[in-house]
Structure 1
Amino acid sequence: MTTKSYEMAREAFAAWDVDTEAALATLSTIPISVHCWQGDDVVGFETRHGSSGGGIQATGNHPGRARTPDELRADLEFAYAKIPGRHRLNLHACYMDTDESPDRDEIEVKHFQPWIDWAGDQGVGLDFNPTFFAHEKADDNLTLSHPDQGIRDFWIEHGKRSREIAAAFGRAQGSACVNNIWVPDGSKDNPVDRMGARKRLETSLDAMCAETLNKAEMLDAVESKLFGIGVEAMTVGSHEFYMGYAIRRDTLLCLDMGHFHPTENIADKLSAVALSVDEILLHVSRPMRWDSDHVILLDDSIRAMAQELVFGDLLGRTHIGLDFFDATISRTAAWVIGVRNMQKALLESMLMPQARLKAAETSLDFTTRLMLTEEMKDMPFGAVWAEFCDRMGVPSGAPLISDLDAYQASVASRG
């Protein structure tokens, strides 16, 4: 039942020519891809390999880490039940669910069939990532750009098989599976042949993606990084490298908020790259100091990102996913907090008087633009969000905190 608080909020926003009902309807259609690796600290379920590496490190030892695919799926089911709307799952290749022990260049769709079945039962769309880290053939932080052709061929085959698996996900679920390609390749100290490494990476990517697959089933994305642990001097797959590659090869470009300098405004990049690529993959993270992958807050950086998506009319061209892994707090709570904050940021942006703001800017009336943006901060956004949660059948406020605490207590014995 619609609350009095919401009715008052709706009237307040209507006075600014903002339709809260339209905003809620739009928000309910936006899926966010929830990253599986928050649930188990980027360990995965392979039997041959078991460490993260490759510049990836989860810190903390909070009890309750998922140790099996079934535990991870149970945690995800709980989290989805506390997040309004229908969402997706972003699965890494190292999260296969099988009694077999395939190496990375041997993985097949059958090794992920339990995930396909579960996603179908839950009504959850799947996205995918080849795993180019945590493997003896990635010990040098070199994979697709490795000087050794044999090692490159191993990872090329892994990438080919990952694309086939992603396409199978897409066929099974009836929506395109985004297959995101990120490699940790780089150099700890100053290299003397950057061009050679980047040419090898480009050639490997071309070989990996040579087969044309149905875009209704699978979409390739490429993800850059500024630097990483062990690759401080040079990252082969830089932003400039992948932006050029995405334009030339017609792939999605992935922008990860933690993969740039902390002073860079990632929201500013969206409209810039959207002029050159058809679709964007967005990894939302909170880089405290750098790529530390903290749970996202409803802060200025997230608000700016959401506003750019809404005001730039980019929601239909952007696939939103989260990417953080914090092992110092409840992992299920981290998912719930992160996704809901992304949704809140989108809703706040939808509740701004966009036409009036753009008109003020076009007429160079920057005073009105500033006054409008500041006045909107006093609007009763919380009442609209609470209404959205209520309509979607999920708790908010104190009941949500109670549910999160109770679930964490139920899984704490995992150690």
Structure 2
Amino acid sequence: MSNTKNVRAAFELASEQYQAQGVDVSAALQKLSRVAISVHCWQGDDVAGFEGEAGTLGNGLAVTGNYPGRARTADELRSDLEVAYSLIPGKHRLNLHALYGEFDGPVDRDEIGVEHFRGWMDWSREQQVDLDFNPSYFSHPKASDGFTLAHSDAGIRQFWIDHGIACRKIAAAMGAAQGNACVNNFWVPDGYKDTPASRKAPRERLASSLDEIFAEDLPRSQTLDAVECKLFGIGSESYVVGSHEFYMGYAISRNKVLCLDAGHFHPTEVISDKISSALMYVPELLLHVSRGVRWDSDHVVTYSDELQAIMQEIIRGDYLDRVHLGLDFFDASINRVAAWAIGTRNALKALLAALLEPTEQLQQLERDGDLTARLALMEEQKTMPLGAVWNHYCESTGVPVGAEWLEKVRQYESSVTSKRCDESVVS
């Protein structure tokens, strides 16, 4: 267990070191406490959802591993999430996919409604966890050939248009109920495994379908429409209709939120470098903080150079009020609650490190042309006592310090998740 006295003493020493650089630690912690990360529901059940026999995972998605104890019902998933939130400092959001509705019987994607998410909305109010949303353009028979909104069949295309329209209404109801906008993110996996004969026609169909979905002007105070780009996926290695250039243009011309996923670009490409450019032209960004390993594999977020760079760009550009932070990874090879805790705590830790930079001093040195001092101070930041400030923040918000959270996960696994059978559902 942490020693409160030692944590406090280390924090006071760290504060003095940061203060010597002109950094107000208390102000940084206040800013951090106001940041709500949208935690993704699909880590808890391997992107299975609650539609029954609607389909199997596919269309550019794959989850590997068979760690026991995945959530099989909405109640199990909510229980797991509550444990995860108890291990993460601050108040955070939940990102739901449409296939996580609670359905009494067969309900197809074009027929879903607010009533199927009342349980989530009630839970949201009780737990004070605001909701974000996503249409689900995968794991469905009408997506089996890899195309949905860009499909050449007008009937299939209309089915997915109706799904998108229904999801916007659900997201708006969620936003109205919680008193702040529900970010509704559209990721469409359409594309070809091999070289297409026409890159133009599917993109024209996708743009037309999206225009039809977004035709109704819903209040931005209730829901924000986001569109998410991708370089390639499983089964769409040669061509993805919704590329970065497609959605950048679409977001600019239609005044939409642009979603950048850290794993959706070439391995040598990073989203940290795109943030300041994109925000010159789009109103807001949604960032899916993930970790690609050789391909878009959505690994658990670690405290990597790119994660730090993403958070630095947000703070250095003063973008906190224009960027929505969400997570997007799924790993079934480790304890799923632990995956949430590791990824979210790392994202917050990297954001704290960025808030503890002497940003104005660094930027003034740059304006003055003193690039030597700029580099020197940036390098000194790497050995500043971030951990002491982080431990204090965790303790002051009532969550475990250091790796103490892992013991709580183990206790929960022993008493709850280890007793779940792989496929059977508790009635």
Equivalent residues in 2 for 1:107-186 (5 A)?
107-186=112-191
Q: Matches of 1:189 and 1:399 in 2, distance apart? A: 48
Partner of 2:248: 243
Q: Which of 260, 275, 281 is residue 270 of structure 1 equivalent to?
A: 275
* One-letter amino acid of the structure 2 residue matched with residue 363 of structure 1: D
Q: 1:293 aligns to what SS in structure 2?
A: strand
Equivalent residues in 2 for 1:344-383 (5 A)?
344-383=349-388
Q: What are the superposed Cα offsets for residues 281-337 of structure 1, whole Å, 9 maximum, x if unpaired?
A: 000000011211100111101000000000011111000000000000000000011
1:93 aligns with 2:94: no
1:403 aligns with 2:403: no
Give the CA deviation at 1:365. Answer: 1.5
Contact 1:43 1:50 in 2 (8 A): no
Q: Matches of 1:388 and 1:181 in 2, distance apart? A: 34
After TM superposition, the score normalised by the length of structure 1 is 0.99
Give the CA deviation at 1:204. Answer: 0.4
1:29 aligns with 2:34: yes
Contact 2:263 2:296 in 1 (8 A): yes
Q: 1:59 aligns to what SS in structure 2?
A: coil
After TM superposition, the score normalised by the length of structure 2 is 0.96
Q: Matches of 1:125 and 1:5 in 2, distance apart? A: 34
1:217 aligns with 2:216: no
Partner of 1:194: 199
1:60 aligns with 2:65: yes
Q: What are the superposed Cα offsets for residues 236-290 of structure 1, whole Å, 9 maximum, x if unpaired?
A: 0000000000000011000000100010121000000000001000000000112
Q: What are the superposed Cα offsets for residues 47-91 of structure 1, whole Å, 9 maximum, x if unpaired?
A: 241411111000000011001110000000000011000000000
1:412 aligns with 2:418: yes
Contact 1:44 1:50 in 2 (8 A): no
* One-letter amino acid of the structure 2 residue matched with residue 180 of structure 1: N
Q: Matches of 2:303 and 2:412 in 1, distance apart? A: 23
* One-letter amino acid of the structure 2 residue matched with residue 351 of structure 1: L
Give the CA deviation at 1:413. Answer: 2.5
Give the CA deviation at 1:398. Answer: 3.9
Partner of 2:425: none
Alignment length (residue pairs): 415
Unmatched 5+ stretches in structure 2? 423-427
Q: 1:291 aligns to what SS in structure 2?
A: strand
Q: Which of 45, 49, 52 is residue 44 of structure 1 equivalent to?
A: 49
Partner of 2:233: 228
Contact 1:29 1:85 in 2 (8 A): yes
Q: 2:172 aligns to what SS in structure 1?
A: helix
Q: What are the superposed Cα offsets for residues 342-376 of structure 1, whole Å, 9 maximum, x if unpaired?
A: 00000001111111111111122211111101111
Q: 1:42 aligns to what SS in structure 2?
A: coil
Q: Matches of 1:263 and 1:180 in 2, distance apart? A: 25
Partner of 2:11: 6
Contact 1:48 1:103 in 2 (8 A): no
Q: Matches of 1:398 and 1:243 in 2, distance apart? A: 40
Q: Matches of 1:23 and 1:366 in 2, distance apart? A: 25
Contact 2:55 2:141 in 1 (8 A): no
Contact 1:60 1:326 in 2 (8 A): yes
Q: Matches of 1:397 and 1:145 in 2, distance apart? A: 47
Q: Matches of 1:246 and 1:405 in 2, distance apart? A: 44
Unmatched 5+ stretches in structure 1? none
Q: Which of 241, 254, 257 is residue 259 of structure 2 equivalent to?
A: 254
Q: Matches of 1:190 and 1:378 in 2, distance apart? A: 48
1:318 aligns with 2:323: yes
* One-letter amino acid of the structure 2 residue matched with residue 274 of structure 1: L
The sequence identity of aligned pairs, in percent, is: 57
Partner of 1:304: 309
Q: Matches of 1:181 and 1:193 in 2, distance apart? A: 23
Q: What are the superposed Cα offsets for residues 99-155 of structure 1, whole Å, 9 maximum, x if unpaired?
A: 132100000100111000001100000000000000000011100000000000000
Q: What are the superposed Cα offsets for residues 368-409 of structure 1, whole Å, 9 maximum, x if unpaired?
A: 111101111221111100110011100022422211222222
Give the CA deviation at 1:209. Answer: 0.9
Q: 2:296 aligns to what SS in structure 1?
A: coil
Partner of 2:23: 18
Contact 2:44 2:77 in 1 (8 A): yes
Instruction: State the 4+ residue runs in structure 1 displaced beyond 2 angstroms.
Output: none
Give the CA deviation at 1:12. Answer: 1.0
Q: Matches of 1:48 and 1:250 in 2, distance apart? A: 37
Alpha-carbon RMSD across the aligned residues, in angstroms, is 1.0
Partner of 1:103: 108
Q: Matches of 1:157 and 1:131 in 2, distance apart? A: 12
Q: 2:293 aligns to what SS in structure 1?
A: coil
1:391 aligns with 2:393: no
* One-letter amino acid of the structure 1 residue matched with residue 375 of structure 2: L
Q: Matches of 1:412 and 1:260 in 2, distance apart? A: 37
Contact 1:39 1:331 in 2 (8 A): yes
